Structure 1
Amino acid sequence: MTSTILQLSETGQAFAFRERGQGAPVLLLHGVGMQSAAWDPQAEELSHTYRVIALDLPGHGGSAPVPAGSELPDFVSWLHDVIRTLKIGPVSIAGHSMGALITAGFAISHPEMTARAALLNGVFCRDAAARAGVVARAADIRAGKGDLETPLARWFGDSATDISARNLVAGWLREVDPSGYATAYSAFARGDATYADRFSEIACSFLAITGDGDPNSTPAMSQAMAAQVQDGRAVTITGHRHMVNLTAPDLVTSHLRDWLNSPTQLEALS
């Protein structure tokens, strides 16, 4: 997909996205340090029946950053600006990791603009030890002390598929703007509880996917999120870790197709 850059209607800042296909719109949001290309396996398949728009998050790829110190609600506001600029609501949104936090926050804050919400490897109410660890990593990244090998070793195994995906992800992490990465990671570190007590407000079809080997975005978290949503479903992909959309692309795409085939709230009431 060729990257397109537009200006947001409210702030005037640049945002970048890759688009392909026609039909009902599907927005894809990547995780911290990644870029829209991380969704290529799903975008390729889903574009046969949907208009797929994969965004570069602020400070990533071709998108301008949000101000330093921005928190998760600021990223949710950014997404609201994007959707209004593209004039595509209500829209189905799938987000991975940080993108999952933004997706959940948007579904809660703007239910009228959310057709469906899917969270891949989303974090939810970390325990004290996990929160302390991720906050410490955020501080290291802000200080320019972040390293690539620690997250890569945590995210990937030793299979040929994992190694290939790891090489892609390592390249994206090396390319990301350090300040944009630091801002997004700090919001990610503090964002797991921001909307946690409001998940019961999500009224649209909701899917939470993670890998059974993901120690930070655990199956228990996905199950806890889905249990709070009236139309929530949790899926655990066996033998995979944090980057399931790259290491188990066909399985993830299949689950997303099922999710996209589920009725929207308005369709269910008709």
Structure 2
Amino acid sequence: MTTRLRLRTDQIVSYLDQGTGSPLILIHGVGMQHQAWSPQIEAFSQTHRVIAIDLPGHGESTPLEKGSELPDFVQWLHDFIIALNCGPANIAGHSMGALIAGGYVSEHPESVNRVALLNGVYKRTETAQKAVLTRADEIANGGIDLKGPLARWFTESPTDLIAKEKTERWLSQMNQQSYAITYRAFARGDATYTDSWEKVKCPALFLTGDGDPNSTPEMSRTMAEQAPRGHLCIIKGHKHMANLTAADTVNDALTDWLNQPVCHHRSS
């Protein structure tokens, strides 16, 4: 059962809060819901306090204003962590959630013990940038495309097909305007915090599938090489929704990440 937290008069965040121990905050991607982390919630709520958030305009969370950019989503996360008093935390994000997690550790390193970017993007090529901006315009003007993302995100394996059915249901439940606001920020945010990884001192995991055409292995490798404590994990035979289609492998990588020692935060 989800809980609703009011940040401001016009801003409510819905989230699942399960388990006890060190906080593990999970942030899903565009068009998803916190249930997209179900294999990780089940596994890590045995050892951690798992807080799986619905992004603005997703699930039962209210959307941000039209025109919001990635830093607005980072501020939204900060407001949530302050209101819930759950920092410093371990923060794992997928896709758009990975962009938010990367921005958050850049802006608020004192509030992060460890950071993990699953299927994250980094400085898209000019061709890829044009394609994702075109999709953002199409969403704003014509509705939510189901076939395109599903084709990019999944193979035709039996495991993928099960996850594909769930993902299609979540996408179909999205409000078009909320989807457009978040996707626009996702499309424009891939280079916002890219120069910050050299300054990130905490353990940082960068994970993707070797078949992900948009959150490529090269992107994850570049970020891992820049972060002083970066670790790279490329999962063979999987695409964009690896946390669902390769849950055991992803959970093993997250377990190793959560076992990495952290720096002690000093109060200013």
TM range, smaller chain: over 0.9
**Cα offset for 1:144?**
2.2
CA contact (8 A) 2:144 2:176 kept: no
CA contact (8 A) 1:137 1:146 kept: no
Residue in 2 aligned with 1:224? 222
C-alpha distance after superposition, 1:141-167 (max 9, x if no partner): 010244100110111111111000000
Residue in 2 aligned with 1:30? 28
Residue in 2 aligned with 1:62? 60
Q: In structure 2, do the counterparts of structure 1 residues 257 and 11 end up closer, same or farther at CA, with 3 Å as the change threshold?
A: farther
Q: Letter of the 1:33 partner, please give it.
A: G
Q: Give structure 1 regions of 4+ aligned residues with deviation exceeding 3 angstroms.
A: none
Residue in 1 aligned with 2:5? 6
C-alpha distance after superposition, 1:223-252 (max 9, x if no partner): 000111100011100000000000001110
Residue in 1 aligned with 2:158? 160
The whole-number CA distance in structure 1 between the counterparts of 2:37 and 2:69 is 24
CA contact (8 A) 1:30 1:36 kept: yes
The whole-number CA distance in structure 2 between the counterparts of 1:11 and 1:234 is 41
Structure 2's unaligned 5+ residue stretches are: none
The whole-number CA distance in structure 2 between the counterparts of 1:114 and 1:144 is 38
Residue in 2 aligned with 1:258? 256
- Which SS does the other structure have where 1:143 is aligned? helix
Structure 2 counterpart of 1:202, from 200, 203, 219: 200
The whole-number CA distance in structure 1 between the counterparts of 2:230 and 2:9 is 34
TM-score by length of 2: 0.97
C-alpha distance after superposition, 1:1-41 (max 9, x if no partner): x1111101x56511000121100000000000000000010
Q: Figure out how many residues of one structure are paired with residues of the other and give that number.
A: 265
**Cα offset for 1:190?**
0.5
The whole-number CA distance in structure 1 between the counterparts of 2:96 and 2:11 is 21
CA contact (8 A) 2:206 2:221 kept: yes
C-alpha distance after superposition, 1:206-231 (max 9, x if no partner): 00000000010011100000111100
CA contact (8 A) 1:95 1:101 kept: yes
Structure 2 counterpart of 1:176, from 159, 174, 177: 174
Residue in 2 aligned with 1:130? 128
User: Does residue 248 in structure 1 map to residue 246 in structure 2?
Assistant: yes
Structure 1's unaligned 5+ residue stretches are: none
TM-score by length of 1: 0.96
- Which SS does the other structure have where 2:264 is aligned? helix
**Cα offset for 1:178?**
1.2
Q: Letter of the 1:199 partner, please give it.
A: W
Identity %: 53
